[in-house]
Amino acid sequence: MASMSMAEDVLMNEVLIRDLEAVAKDTAVLHGVLMRTKETPNSSEVVCFAPFSLFPSPLPKVLFDQALAVQTNFNRLVDMISQDSTFLQEALASTIKVDDFTARLFNIYMLILQEGCSQPIVVGLNRSDYMLNQEADGNATLKQIEINTIAAGCGGLSSRTPAVHRHILKVAGRLEEQKMILDNNPAAGLAKALALAWKLYGSERNILVVRKRFEDVCKTGLLDQDKRLFVGGQEVAIVYFRNGYMPQNYREQSWEARLMMERSLAVKCPDIATHLAGTKKVQQELARPGVLEKFFPDDPEAVAQMRATFAGLYTLDEGEEGDKTVAMALANPDQYVLKPQREGGGNNIYGADICQVLLGEKGSSDRAAYILMEKVHPQPVYNYLLRSGYPLKLSTCLSELGIFGAYVRQGTNMLLNECVGHLLRTKSSEYSDGGVTAGVAVLDNPILI
């Protein structure tokens, strides 16, 4: 049963809701909560408000604080994994045999490993995503869905949404709730890490940001004798990958560009090892007994903090253990999620579709392209979701909490490791999967309870 929310509290006042809808859209535009449109995705002249909730959503403070507290440990973990070639090779050995996209990323990784890393500066901008699981005793627990190590999105938009909700609540006369909207500026923390990496690279110029596609890098990019990267005649200090996490981001020349950038002296965010550290297969391997202890042998508190957030994760590799996982999923498919090695939302498989995939690949090595995860069951709340082209209506909603982390390492020295903000995304419960850019979830803010 969905819990009470601010939206339900004002449900009977339809006139107020319609007035707030107009106010909300105008406020979002004024505060730069904007996205390019699906029809003209490369045009800066045609934009629309980014989808967002009319009201903030309730979130238990104890679980929010738990997610914030563990983030720097997850930053350390991701960085440790990226430096452990044995672990990465063993963890991904079965997956790269059946998943061509992961295999091509892995091939670049192995080339860089053989040639030697050109740049000892590493910058990580991560986002660890969670949902709240409703336990049998009625209490909610924090369960990690995934760690995003490449193009961890919405840091900028989530920095601007608090002002939008504060104004909506002011107009609605909800002044006490208005005071409860948290300050949130992940964009500043993410930028801080990039600026530090820029300084460490040694550039004396002001920071200039240039957007380039893979094909642009392939056409105008080159490495000099010192492996400095030049694109269009300009030296590049930092490469930030805004895409490159889905197969459709690549053509053949895109792979050539990715390899050129990885070989270069430029700081990569993420570098290829950190990209692979965020795969679902690595997430599943970390949940095995004793694995976290190998990375944190002298920090049992950090191990306990991280493990407390893990949902059930199960291998689908060939063999007895994978066979047990298949049988478990087929017996009760509604209790699990089948996850491929993909980012960006809309890729997971649910319910009867799990059976269809696993029965088609039962006994086949192809199933190693996936992992199986215990399905999280959050308690729904009511809210209104503002999305361009959709009528406003009261919806039964589920939320997902993301925590942003930023770190910078030079050689063996961790120079910065911080939790820099949060992102709350909310979607109608009719959808199983999908993010903001996938057109399903909307931006939100937590009201801590």
**pLDDT tens digit string along 357-391?**
999 877 788 999 999 999 999 999 999 999 998 89
If asked whether residues 368 and 431 sit together in one domain, one would say: no
Q: What CATH number is associated with residue 317?
A: 3.30.1490.50
Residue 2 has pLDDT above 70, yes or no: no
d(C-alpha 421, C-alpha 353), whole Å: 35
286 falls within a domain = yes
If asked whether residues 409 and 348 sit together in one domain, one would say: no
Q: Identify the residue with better confidence: 6 or 309.
A: 309
If asked whether residues 233 and 346 sit together in one domain, one would say: no
Enclosing domain of residue 343:
312-375
pLDDT band, very low/low/confident/very high, at 192 (cuts 50, 70, 90): very high
1 falls within a domain = no
pLDDT band, very low/low/confident/very high, at 8 (cuts 50, 70, 90): low
Question: Residue type at 169?
Answer: L
pLDDT band, very low/low/confident/very high, at 44 (cuts 50, 70, 90): confident
Per-residue pLDDT, 1: 46
Residue 427 has pLDDT above 70, yes or no: yes
If asked whether residues 367 and 225 sit together in one domain, one would say: no
d(C-alpha 408, C-alpha 123), whole Å: 4
Which residues have CB under 8 Å from 367's CB, separation 6+? Answer: 98, 316, 317, 318, 322, 326, 357, 358, 361
d(C-alpha 165, C-alpha 135), whole Å: 30
Q: Cα-flanking dihedrals φ and ψ of residue 447, to 5°?
A: -105, 110
At 266-292, the pLDDT tens digits run: 999 999 999 999 999 999 999 999 999
**Buried-exposed string 401-434: b where 16+ CB fall within 10 A, e elsewhere:** bbbbbbbbbbeeeeebbbbbbbbbbbbbeeebbb
d(C-alpha 242, C-alpha 136), whole Å: 40
Encoding tokens for residue 361? 């690949």
* Secondary structure (3-state) at 257: helix
Question: Residue type at 311?
Answer: A
Residue 334 has pLDDT above 50, yes or no: yes
If asked whether residues 324 and 381 sit together in one domain, one would say: no
If asked whether residues 274 and 291 sit together in one domain, one would say: yes
Distance of CA 392 to CAs 20, 77, 101, 191, 389, Å?
11, 42, 39, 35, 9
CB atoms within 10 A of CB 66: 17
Per-residue pLDDT, 343: 80
d(C-alpha 26, C-alpha 212), whole Å: 32
* Bridge partner residues of 152 (DSSP): none
335 falls within a domain = yes
If asked whether residues 126 and 186 sit together in one domain, one would say: yes
If asked whether residues 370 and 396 sit together in one domain, one would say: no
At 61-79, the pLDDT tens digits run: 999 999 999 999 999 999 9
Residue 3 has pLDDT above 80, yes or no: no
pLDDT band, very low/low/confident/very high, at 6 (cuts 50, 70, 90): confident
* Bridge partner residues of 350 (DSSP): 337
Per-residue pLDDT, 278: 97
If asked whether residues 156 and 262 sit together in one domain, one would say: yes
Which one, of 271, 248, 246, lies nearest residue 258 by Cα?
271
How far from the centroid of its chain's Cα atoms is residue 114's Cα?
A: 30
Q: Which residue has the tokens 């986002």?
A: 127
Residue 33 has pLDDT above 70, yes or no: yes
Per-residue pLDDT, 11: 57
- Among residues of the chain, what percentage have pLDDT more than 90? 86
If asked whether residues 217 and 320 sit together in one domain, one would say: no
Per-residue pLDDT, 4: 54
User: Alpha-carbon torsion 353, 354, 355, 360, what sign?
Assistant: positive
Picking from 351, 375, 399, the residue at the C-terminal end of a domain is 375
If asked whether residues 169 and 292 sit together in one domain, one would say: yes
168 falls within a domain = yes
If asked whether residues 80 and 162 sit together in one domain, one would say: yes
Average pLDDT over residues 22-32: 97
Residue 439 has pLDDT above 90, yes or no: no
Picking from 375, 398, 415, the residue at the C-terminal end of a domain is 375
At 109-155, the pLDDT tens digits run: 999 999 999 899 999 999 999 999 999 898 999 999 999 999 999 99
Strands 52-53 and 381-386: antiparallel
Per-residue pLDDT, 434: 65
d(C-alpha 110, C-alpha 168), whole Å: 52
Q: Give helix 300-307 / helix 61-82 axis angle, nearest 10°.
A: 120
d(C-alpha 331, C-alpha 349), whole Å: 16
Number of compact structural domains in the chain: 2
How far from the centroid of its chain's Cα atoms is residue 209's Cα?
A: 23
144 falls within a domain = yes
d(C-alpha 263, C-alpha 221), whole Å: 12
Which one, of 402, 437, 400, lies nearest residue 420 by Cα?
402
